Amino acid sequence: MSTVEVGLLLVFVLFLLLGSGIWVALSLLGVGLIAMMAFTPAPTGLALGTSFWGSISTWSLAPLPLFVWMGEILYRSRLSEDMYGGLAPWLGNVPGRLLHVNVLGCGVFAAVSGSSAATVATIGRMSIPELQARGYDQRMIIGTLAGSGTLGLLIPPSIILIVYGVSAELSIARLFVAGILPGLMLVVLFMGYVALWSLLNPGRTPPADPPVPWLARLRSSGRLIPVVLLVVCVIGSIYVGVATPTEAAAYGVAGALILSAATGTLSWRVFIDGLLGATRTACMIVFILAGAAFLTTAMGYTGIPRALAEWISAMGLSHYALLVALTLFFIVMGCFLDGISVVVLTTSVVLPMVQAAGIDLLWFGIYLVIVVEMSQITPPVGFNLFVLQGLTGRNIFQIAGASIPFFLVLLLAVILVVAFPGIATWLPQRMSG
C-alpha cells in the first residue's frame, strides 16, 4: 500500500473507534498499534514504552494537575456569587446591561480555572435563573454563556495551552503570556456584540435598573478583590519572572484554598471532592497525551507526516491559504473531538508543515486555541453546548443556534490575529526582552 492509502486507512480506523464510543486515549493507542504492527518493521513494545514514559515524565506537565485542582476548588466556592455581586451594579445602564456579567464573569473565572466547561457551568448556574427572572432574552443568555465560556481555553492559566506547549516543546510561560492580549480582545469583541445587539433590539432588553449610588458600587466591588488578587499573583508572577508556571500553579492552589476558607465553603468534603475531581481530569488528559505520543511515534515510522507535508508543499498554498485550510480542518475535527484531543491528535501532523511554511509556533498556538474555541460551540460535539443543555433543558440545536453569532465573533478574532500577529506575539517578545 502507498503512504497515502495507509494514511486514509488509519484515519478511517480512528473515526471508527471514536464513533464506537471507545475512550479517545484508547482510540489513539489502538490506531498507533495497528500502524506499528501492520505497516512498519519497528519493535512495537519498545516504541510504546519509550513514547508513553517520555510523554508523561516531562516536567512541563507539572502545572497541569495543580491548575486543574485550583479550578476545582474555586468551582465549589462562592466565587460566582461574588463576581455577580461585584460586577452587576456597574453594568445596569450599559447597552446589554446584565448580559455583560456573563461575558466578564466568564473572563474572570477563566483566568482562575483554565477550563471551558467549568466556566460555563459555574457562571451559567448562577446567572441563568437571575437573568431569566429579570426578563432577558433567552437566546442571548445562552449565546453569551456559550461564547464567553470558551475563554477558559485561552485566558491563562489555560490547560489546553499547557497541552500544546508540551506537544510543541514550547515555553509554557511564554504561551501563557501570549494568551493575555487575545483573551482580552475576545472579551471586548463579545461585549461589543452584546451592546450592538441591544441597541438594535431595544424591545428585547428589560428596563434599566434603578441607579446604584457610587459608594454602594465601590462596596460591592470589594467582593472582586480576592479574585483579582489571585489572578494577579498567578499570572503576574509568571510574567515578571518571579515564578515558573509550576510554582505559580502551586501559589494558585494555595490562594484558592485560602479564598474558599475565607468564604466559608472549605470543608473536608469539598477538599476531597476537589482533589478527586482534579485527579480524574488530570489523569484523563495525561492518558490522552500518552496515547497521542505513541500515535505520533507510529506516524513517524510510517512516514505519513512527511508525505503529508510534502503534499501540502507541492500544492503551493500561500501562507494565508494554508491557514484557511487548517481553520476548516480544525473546525471539522472539533465537531467530533474535545479541544485537548484535537490539539494532541493533530500536532504531530500539522506542526511539520506549519514550520515548513515559516509560521511562528508560539503564534500558531494562540491561533489554534481560538479555532478550537470555535469548535466548542459547534454540534454534534460542542462541549459547551452539552453543559448548557444540562443547565437549561433545551434542545441541543436551539442552543447551537443561539451560539452562531458568537461563533462568528470568534471567526472575526481569528481573522484579526492572522492580520495582526502582534496581538499574540507582542507581550512574549517584551517578556523575553
Confidence of residue 367 (pLDDT cuts 50, 70, 90): very high
Peptide bond into 379 cis (omega under 30): no
Judge whether residue 232 has pLDDT over 90: no
Confidence of residue 405 (pLDDT cuts 50, 70, 90): very high
- Produce one character per residue of 326-337: b if its CB has 16 or more CB atoms within 10 Å, e if not: bbeebbebbeeb
pLDDT at 315: 73
pLDDT at 423: 93
pLDDT at 308: 64
Quick: pLDDT tens for 322-338.
888 888 888 877 666 66
Confidence of residue 372 (pLDDT cuts 50, 70, 90): confident
Annotated domain spans of the chain = 3-9+20-34+42-432
Mean pLDDT of 418-433: 85
Q: What is the pTM of this model?
A: 0.74
Whether 132 contacts 98, CB under 8 Å: no
Q: Which residues contact 106 (CB under 8 A, 6 or more apart)?
A: 119, 120, 123, 145, 148, 149, 151, 152
Quick: pLDDT tens for 198-225.
988 887 777 766 776 767 777 777 777 7
Of 28-37, 204-213, 231-240, minimum mean pLDDT range: 204-213
Confidence of residue 58 (pLDDT cuts 50, 70, 90): confident
Mean pLDDT of 4-28: 77
Quick: pLDDT tens for 132-180.
887 888 889 899 988 888 887 788 777 788 888 888 888 888 998 899 8
Quick: pLDDT tens for 237-255.
877 778 887 888 888 888 8
C-alpha angle 285-287-289 in degrees, rounded to nearest 5: 70
Q: 410 or 4, which is more confident?
A: 410
- Produce one character per residue of 126-143: b if its CB has 16 or more CB atoms within 10 Å, e if not: bbbeebeeeebbebbbbb
Q: Which residues contact 172 (CB under 8 A, 6 or more apart)?
A: 60, 63, 161, 162, 165, 166, 245
- Produce one character per residue of 254-278: b if its CB has 16 or more CB atoms within 10 Å, e if not: ebbbebbeeeeebeeebbeebeebb
